[in-house]
Amino acid sequence: MDLLLIASLVGAAFLSFYMAWNIGSNDVANSMATAVGAKAITFKQAVIIAGLLNFIGAVFVGSHVTQTIRGNIVNPKTIGDPDILLLGFVSSLIAASVFVTLSTWKEMPISTTHSIIGALLGFGLVASGPSCINWGKIGEVALSWLLSPIAGCLLSFLVLKIITRLIFAREDFIKSAKIVGPIITGTTAMMITSSLFLKTNLGKMLSLTDIPSILGISAIAGLWLGSFSAWRLSKVESKNKRDYETVEMMFRKL
């Protein structure tokens, strides 16, 4: 085997671990910081949960994401030369990794995905000019920068209003929380399950692609988790009917 190819493979493996370390030090905080800050889980539990879920995500969703990065940002056919492609992708990985390291050091909540896409964009422009860039996909990514925070803001506002209206506006906080909490939990479980089957390769891997079956499985997952949370919350005791602290503890568990 060509010595350059072996060296490139070893280097790419090392850089991949380096990028994974970056993701652990930066991106994981984006999804786990709220749970740790709310004291729902400890820092150690967050590390264990994140490590497990990242592994599962790489197995079931990894090829889905890799395909986008590999061929939907820069068109390999336009560049043509495999040596330039190899060097370009390795250079992009180095650039994104170093940028994420520096950003993490400065406590900047940046995105590893956007960093690697930006690095690939730079590589494509240098290697073959604007013609090799999939500007439509770049536009989708840029649009997500705008839509994601807006959607997150609207959804969190809606959920908080529902909690306020259906729990804190009632006479008995605890009783209302025991009803509303499992409904929110079950709905969330149903949405996550359906999105895993519909928006990733998990459905194809399990030969499950028809929407009625996916919706049925998602509904079962929602009912199961909702029932489990209802059982857990039924054991919660409070000092009085309008006990804010107990309601906070209940939602922390959820």
What confidence tens digit (pLDDT) does each residue in 230-250 have? 998 888 877 777 777 888 887
| % of the chain residues with pLDDT over 90 | 13
Closest CA to 116 of 132, 136, 99, 137: 99
pTM: 0.70
Give residue-wise pLDDT tens across range 129-184.
888 888 888 888 888 888 988 999 999 999 889 888 998 888 888 888 888 889 98
CB within 8 Å of 34: residues ≥ 6 apart: none
**For residue 134, which phi and psi values (nearest 5 degrees)?**
-85, 90
CB within 8 Å of 51: residues ≥ 6 apart: 24
Q: What is the pLDDT of residue 190?
A: 93
Q: How far apart are CA 212 and CA 126, in angstroms?
A: 47
Of the listed ranges 64-73, 225-234, 235-244, the least confidently predicted one is 64-73
| % of the chain residues with pLDDT over 70 | 96
The residue whose two tokens read 């005791």 is 237
3-state helix, strand, coil in the chain (%, to 5): 85, 0, 15
The answer to whether 48 and 28 are in contact (CB under 8 A) is no
Say how far residue 198 (Cα) sits from the centre of its chain.
Answer: 15
Beta partners for 96? Answer: none
Give me the mean pLDDT over the 203-219 stretch.
Answer: 83
Mean pLDDT of the chain: 84
Q: How many angstroms separate the Cα of 209 from the Cα of each of 46, 136, 225? A: 32, 27, 23
